[in-house]
Amino acid sequence: MPTHRKKRGRTKGRSIEPKALARVRDLLGDAPRRHDLLLEHLHRIQDSEGCITVSNLVALAGEMRLSVTEVYEVASFYHHLDLVREDQSPPPSITVRVCDSLACAMAGAEILAEDLKNGLGDGVRVQRVSCVGRCADAPVAVIGMNPVGEATLDTVRSRVEERDTSPVHPSGRDYDAYRAAGGYQLLGRVEKGALPADEVIQTLEDAGLRGLGGAGFPAGRKWRIVRDQPEPRLMAVNIDEGEPGTFKDRHFLEQDPYRFLEGMLIASRVVGISKIYIYLRDEYAGIRGMLQQELNRLLENLPWDMPPVELRRGAGAYICGEESAMIESIEGQRGMPRLRPPYVAQAGLFGRPTLVHNMETLFWVPELLERGADWFREQGRRGHSGLRAFSVSGRVALPGVYLAPAGISLRELITEHCGGMQEGHELYAYLPGGASGGILPASMADIPLDFDTLQPHGCFLGSAAIIVLSQQDSAREAAVNAMRFFARESCGRCTPCRVGTEKAARLMEQPEWDRDLLEELAAVMTDASICGLGQAAPNPLLSVLKYFPDEVKDD
């Protein structure tokens, strides 16, 4: 019998609007349409249009030969991308982001946000956002891409009226000055074989240099592991420092970007890297422009070949500070952590062995090779070795980034580097490792600050983000602020973190804390979350229950 086929109807889904497609093609220009560039292309559209409309999203999907779902799930994941549905109005032309993480909250961010909402008018959107990496200048508002430290209604309003939304490029040491001072001579010795790769790695191991992004894995061992993997090997530099209280990477890049770049290129030569990706948080727009300019200058002036370097732009997702989530983002996906194994050293970017480093770790490489491992090890106190960059904010007289010996105590750090406490304030408590590092009372301010010294007390140093509280602050409120942050920033992939952080925040906002329920919830989050966000989120909560019981009423 003859078969009768139904006439094929229209393809399901939205059709591409010719006008939107033409606009997207114009914005993308000659840029490749690779999947891993999806986030970069979404940024291009938003930077130009002020948002991402459904028609532009559909056009981008068609232009990149991706499904609309693939583009939508990325566009809807990141905080800094404004996806506008057909039934929504585009956002105002100016957005003011007010940081409400702990240091800014202590400096009056809540009042500032309300003042801005009431005082800037309907033509300006005011958003409360997570840490923007300028805790020493709290409270901070960001107008477009232009940060305003110690912000007030008047200072922000004057910038808004001037439409001063562009980032300011930092003016640190320039290329010629760095070369004149001996910069890139170490790289030249490595390139020529005068400084053998094994000797470089041995120096890092002898110095005891560990990863300074938070995990603290020995740098030399990581180089050996990745170098032993099959080619091609890739490298990803993580400068997405989103931990509340952390701003050291921004400080170093603003002061001396070439020290980092030379360390990065030495690492790539020693490990045998074929391509480098630098992942920079979106809040550092001025640094992004500066780094791209300096990378171009390197290509024009270096007498040696260097691997291709791509500067990639984050989009306001704290989770992308986790190495595998960062890799997913670089590949054009949502920034969600991967299950391990395999580890990124074996199968990272695009499935290739990948050396992942924090910016500060690479910043130290030229210094160690110049001065030697013994010099570095001799810098510490109380049997600890090396120097650490501490980001200090809160109730100290002089917040900022300070290089201090590993093993220094919080009390010594405040006295010797931070000018003491602010007038009228006495040390009450401190967060040694940002929002996730826990909270300790003033009575424990003499513990050495270094890797592995705080774990017995339920805390950790992490990226050395120190937030200092006084008698005018509440450890309980600090813990609530931290848990709200984690609830906002959870990627949502695993239930213990997605549900646990939100539930914990609601429970902690209650007048009385249910200790048994909170401890049970914390145990589940710690044991079952996929990555460090959910695993570490309970630390401030547990610290309050342990060290500040007077601030919590039990059932």
Contact of 80 with 316, CB cutoff 8 Å: yes
Total number of residues shown for the chain: 555
Answer yes or no: is pLDDT of 7 > 70.
Answer: no
Q: Distance between alpha carbon 372 and the CA centroid of its chain, in Å? A: 30
Question: What is the rounded average pLDDT of the residues 528-542?
Answer: 96
pLDDT digit string, tens, across residues 62-75:
999 999 999 999 99
Residue with tokens 């539930």: 503
Question: Residue 9 pLDDT > 80, yes or no?
Answer: no
pLDDT above 70 as % of the chain: 97
The architecture CATH gives domain 18-84: Orthogonal Bundle (1.10)
- What pLDDT sits at residue 95? 96
Neighbour-count burial of 61, counting CB atoms closer than 10 A to its CB (0-12 exposed, 13-18 middle, 19+ buried): buried
Quote the pLDDT of residue 8. 45
Tokens of 77: 């994941």
| H or E, element range at 39 | helix 38-49
- pTM for the full model? 0.95
- The burial class, CB within 10 Å (0-12 / 13-18 / 19+), for 11 is exposed
- Per residue in 212-254, pLDDT (tens digit) is 887 889 999 999 999 999 999 999 999 999 999 999 999 999 9
405: helix, strand or coil: strand
Between CA 130 and CA 79 the distance in angstroms is: 10
pLDDT at 394 over 90: yes
Q: Residue 12: what pLDDT?
A: 54
21, two tokens: 């497609």
Query: Amino acid identity of 3?
Result: T
pLDDT for the residue 172: 66
Q: Rounded to whole angstroms, what are the CA distances from 261 to 184, 240, 253, 278, 322?
A: 9, 16, 10, 10, 22
What's the pLDDT score for residue 85?
87
Distances (CA, A) of 176 to 53, 187, 298, 489: 44, 16, 11, 41
Copy the structure tokens of residue 157.
């309003």
Q: How far apart are CA 496 and CA 488, in angstroms?
A: 14
Question: 313's torsion region: left (phi>0), alpha (psi -120 to 50) or beta?
Answer: beta
Residue type, 250: R
Fold of 388-551: Ubiquitin-like (UB roll) (3.10.20)
Residue 99 in contact with residue 129, Cβ under 8 Å?
A: yes
Provide the token pair at 304.
């040696």
440-441 vs 400-405, strand pairing mode: unpaired
SS3 call for 436? coil
| Nearest residue to 367 (alpha-carbon basis) of 379, 355, 356, 349 | 379
Rounded mean pLDDT, 480-484: 98
Q: Is the peptide bond before 538 cis (omega within 30 degrees of 0)?
A: no
Q: Using an 8 Å Cβ cutoff, are 355 and 371 in contact?
A: no
Sheet strands (E) in 362-460: 387-394, 400-405, 427-435, 440-441
pLDDT for residue 82 is more than 90: yes
Q: C-alpha angle 476/111/146, rounded to 5°?
A: 105
What is the rounded CA–CA span in Å between residue 277 and residue 291?
12
Q: What is the mean pLDDT of residues 327-356?
A: 97
Residue 1 banded pLDDT, cuts 50, 70, 90: very low
Mean pLDDT calculated for residue range 303-323: 94
Task: Tell me the chain's radius of gyration from C-alpha atoms.
Answer: 24
Sign of CA dihedral 66, 70, 72, 76: negative
* Rounded-to-integer distance, Cα 405 and Cα 346, Å: 34
Q: Which CATH number fits domain 175-371: 3.40.1080.10, 1.10.10.60, 3.40.50.11540, 3.40.50.300?
A: 3.40.50.11540
Q: Where are the domains of the chain?
A: 18-84, 94-161, 175-371, 388-551
The position carrying tokens 């961010």 is 109
For residue 221, report the phi and psi dihedrals to the nearest 5 degrees.
-65, -40
515, 549 Cβ separation under 8 angstroms = no
Instruction: Give the per-residue pLDDT at 453.
Output: 94
- With both helix axes pointing from N to C terminus, report the angle between 257-271 and 285-301 in degrees, rounded to the nearest 10: 60
Per the CB < 8 A criterion, the answer to whether 93 and 122 are in contact is: no
Specify whether the CB–CB gap between 215 and 331 falls below 8 A: no
Mean pLDDT estimate for the chain: 94
Q: Read off the pLDDT of each residue in 270-278 and give the average, rounded to a whole number.
A: 98
Are 75 and 65 spatial neighbours (Cβ–Cβ below 8 Å)?
Answer: no
Q: How far apart are CA 338 and CA 97, in angstroms?
A: 30
Structure tokens at 12: 């399901």
The pair of three-digit structure tokens given for residue 22, joined into one six-digit string: 């033409």
The pLDDT value recorded for residue 174 is 81
CA distances (Å), 90 to each of 16, 38, 95, 184, 324, in order?
Answer: 20, 22, 12, 48, 33
* CATH dotted code for 94-161: 3.40.30.10
Tell me the Ramachandran region of residue 332: left when phi exceeds 0, alpha when psi lies from -120 to 50, beta otherwise: left
- Joined tokens for residue 277: 């990706």
pLDDT for 554:
55
Number of Cβ within a 10 Å radius of residue 379: 18
Residue type, 435: A
Give the integer Cα–Cα distance in Å for 523 and 513.
16
Write the pLDDT tens digit of every residue in 419-453. 999 999 999 999 999 999 999 999 999 999 999 99
- pLDDT at residue 276 above 90? yes
**Of the candidates 251, 256, 304, 250, the residue with the CA atom closest to the CA atom of residue 281:** 250
Picking from 9-18, 96-105, 232-241, 463-472, which range would have the lowest pLDDT averaged per residue? 9-18
Q: Tokens for 394, please give them.
A: 């809160």
For the residues of 59-90, what is the DSSP string, one character each? HHHHHHT--HHHHHHHHTTSTT--EE-TTSPP
- Compute the distance between CA of residue 437 and CA of residue 540 in angstroms, rounded to an integer: 7
Residue 119 identity (one-letter amino acid): G
Contacts of 85-88 with CB under 8 Å at 24 or more apart are: 85/54, 86/54
| More confidently predicted of 196 and 304 | 196
